[in-house]
Amino acid sequence: MSEVIINDLTVRDIRFPTSIELSGSDAMNVDPDYSAAYVTIHTSDTDLVGHGLTFTIGRGTEVVVLACKALKYLVVGKTLKSLTQDMGATWRMITSDSQLRWIGPEKGVIHLATAAIVNALWDLYAKSEKKPLWKLLVDMTPEELVSCIDFRYITDAITPQEAIHILKSNQDSKNQRVAEMLKDGLPAYTTSAGWLGYSDDKIKTLCREALDQGWNYFKIKVGRDVNDDVRRMRIIREEIGYERKLMVDANQWWDVNEAIEHMKVLSEFKPWWIEEPTSPDDILGHATIAKALAPYGIGVATGEHCANRVMFKQLLQANAIKFCQIDSCRLGGVNEVLSVLLMAKKFNIPVCPHAGGVGLCEYVQHLSLFDYVSVSATLEDRIVEYVDHLHEHFVNPCVIVNGKYVPPTEPGYSITIREQSLNDHEYPNGSVWTRVNQI
């Protein structure tokens, strides 16, 4: 059989008009249109196609599309085997174009594009091995997994040898945890009831629906007005009680001191964590907030806008977070996520991925399953975000039962969008946008 060759990479600007109903609204992002730069890797085997995306919220998606196109030359024309036999070298190659790297490096638009392409390669790899992505990772040896990681800039926090030791310590009990996940599922939390633009009545209705569906973990958006936040948190606590966990997310709205004072007021409602309390780049600011809120039993969570493994390294080293929130495509794809999972394990910080958007839930279920089975080996304080939007557009959407993710079994990274959905939502000429622009 001849080798599979990557013969093209195409990118589409896909947008969903979620701003109409204010789904996804928060203090900083008041009117998001959930969107994606959607990559398709075509191969010489017409039955083998890889997909990947980077989540965006509307305007600017076209910029990420252009960045993906700028990077495509790095993979087109190569064999699949040449790219997958050393995924670490492949990741370093994609992030090391000396001219494109200048507009990062390893952050911003160029890194978002990197994630879309890298994740598409992993989707292709998993499909070629006829395994879901999480199982492909679980089945790798510790040495194979560690070879996927670029340790440049992080060896002062974790070395390849330490990473191998972590993975080896969990080898003998992996199958037991795989069986547990297939039987019980992966614990999740819902953000669907707590968008900032929702009315009080809608929040009450959505909370009651979530309770009926078996949810025990809830998150709401806060930040703009402390009195408004108090009212909304009181409503939710009246609906869900105090036996369930409630988290809050400020989406970068506050200065450091403002975050501390605001959260002291909200502490009466016993929030488990405050997410993105200030600028995502402010490592020391997060550390100051974490120290100030610890006596109130409130942890700091962040990572949704954490650009790379180096920033996560600093957050962990500075004791700035109690919860590590990886994002599947803010980081540079699966390879870089692996490095953060291992650092978090070394620093004994639970990983609770950011999800929602377009495809993020489909992505992160794989990452958290791998984390539990091969890295953390514990579910303590570990939950995965879930938002009930747009899953119907995916060929293999994530499945939630009683507030838990059901492990996917189809080969790949669960990110393939239905062709009709792509055609309808392509911006600006898809039929959905033609109708919206006429309103």
Which one of 127, 135, 221, 393 is the catalytic residue? 221
CA-to-CA separations, 139 to 57, 171, 339, in angstroms, rounded:
35, 10, 17
As separate numbers, helices (DSSP H) first and strands (DSSP E) second, the chain gives 17, 12
Strand-pair partners of 394: 417
CA-to-CA separations, 189 to 163, 194, 252, in angstroms, rounded:
29, 12, 21
Which one of 262, 354, 366, 389 is the catalytic residue? 354
User: Helix 108-128 and helix 61-71: axis angle, to 10°?
Assistant: 60
Told to judge if 354 belongs to the known catalytic residues of this protein, a careful annotator would answer yes
Judge whether 301 and 273 are in contact, CB under 8 Å.
yes
Total count of residues recorded for the chain: 439
CA-closest candidate to residue 41, choices 91, 67, 4: 4
Told to judge if 286 belongs to the known catalytic residues of this protein, a careful annotator would answer no
CA-derived radius of gyration, the chain: 21
CA-closest candidate to residue 182, choices 228, 122, 143, 135: 135
d(CA 384, CA 305): 16
CA-to-CA separations, 92 to 41, 95, 146, 343, in angstroms, rounded:
19, 5, 14, 19
Please list the active-site residues.
221, 354
